[in-house]
Structure 1
Amino acid sequence: MLSQVVPVATIEAFKRVCNQNNIKVILWPMEATKYEIVKKLIYTDIIDVDLPSKDKVTILEHTQIDQMVSITENESCVALSIDGLEQAIKFVDSKQLGQLQHLADKHLTPSPNIVHIANDLTKKICPGRRYLAYHWRNKTAEMACFFGHERHENECAWRRKEIRKFAEISAEAVTDLMKSEQIECIYLACPLWALEMVDILSKRIPRASIFTSGDILGSKKYKTLLDDYYKLSLVEQEICLRAAVFVASHDSSWSKFVVANREANGKTNYNIKTLVKLPHDLPPGLIR
């Protein structure tokens, strides 16, 4: 199905043509630091693709499409780092990007089951009225300070204080946005361990105007979604797609997927990083 949109080669076909001696690997600094580990654990051990060693790869700071052409025009096989594509290379302008997003969106069909569930659950969010959806996420808090908190308790204590400060600032920004957009209700898409944000929002808008997965999954029919984070995540993305306004969590692939879909359909989006101004005592990297 993918080959109907773009040319696609199987891994086996790739291995027949490309090997360590004729693959041009291009990395950006962030990916270069972990190249040898990724090369072994994924490409060598799992899919049996033999990539060149780090001393034979090309590392670029920034580049444009014309530079990429000159670097790769005589190469039979080229490998680009995925993260670097977004951060360091510009293939298209904003107009072309919109056209590509619209084309991709035409070929993306959500699961009928997810759509059916979202159809039911969105009826419970501010019934009959527009709502704003906010993806509240902080990567700092998750792996180190929730799942593995026993090993990082000293570090997590001060991180939680920073996150609490940022939560207050972002709640103020989001509720101000709701007022300017004349929207009364908010759907908070967040992990179940981050629901303290509801209390913070409640200081600014009525609790009855705030909706989370816990609020709309009360019936036995959908209660099991709370035991399946993956399925719940898909449902929450669908709910965010239908919002009048969406506020994305910065540097989150979850949010970026929602934004791309919404942009392809002409819907309004904001990034939390552009809505808030951090005080000097909070690190810039906190907005994630």
Structure 2
Amino acid sequence: MPVSRIIRSFLALLLSAWLGAVPSVHAAPGNDKTDPTAPENPGRILFILASSKVHGRSTIPASISFGEVVNAWDTFQAAGYPVDFVSPDGGEVPILDTYVGKEMEPRLKDDRIMNGLRNTATPAQVDPARYRAVYYVGGSNAMYGVPEHPVLQKIAMHVYERNGGVISAVCHGTAGIVHLTLASGQALVAGRRITGYPEEHEKQDAPYFKQLPFLMRKTVEARGGFFHAVDGQQPYVEVDGRVVTGQNYASATQVAQAVVELLAGRTAQPPRRDPKTA
């Protein structure tokens, strides 16, 4: 064999090995049983979580909402959508015991979810072309580090504008969408019905409240959105085009169900609304 052919073969092997070593985002073990590039694969869902362990610059502990992860994850998995996790810092995200209800405790041993939450990707590792929807997870730390993160913003808007995908959020996770801007320069929430955890439901005399970088309702309305919420802890979801938001923890499953319906080409049904709410 000519020396030149040997050299070319050797260089090709080196290139293949290098390409195989390039890092990419993978779903937690057990999530991805199909080729994500195959035509029959429905695409992936990206869960966006916060990394902060405290409120603002305080020492007050903060956490993701574990149940908001689990309930949505179960819904997406049942519909055949693999799930990936990303956070501003990557790696493990905080889960406080107070954010894990009794019914959710067994799921702390579910490696399909926990491996993902212990090893979230950094924003730089995410290829937004792979996703059909993003889901902003709530919890007390969702107000910090996510809403203003420029790469997370670009990922979400790529999914929405270039992939024709869905942007969804639940509870404090709605904070992640309030600063999103369309290519036109208009705020994503402008002219849309939005819900999330409003400031009137916060404990405004508690120390953590002083750390909040902005107020949910006030900020959505300042961006031209129409913020709606109901009293109590019942599920409440707003579906406006390809933007889906849920008010509270109890709404996580319904938010995920609405996303699945939209991705399937069905019109997601908005909730019955109490005319007394605003």
Q: For this structure pair, what is the TM-score category when the shorter chain's length is used for normalisation? A: 0.3 to 0.5
User: What TM-score comes out, normalization by structure 2 length?
Assistant: 0.37
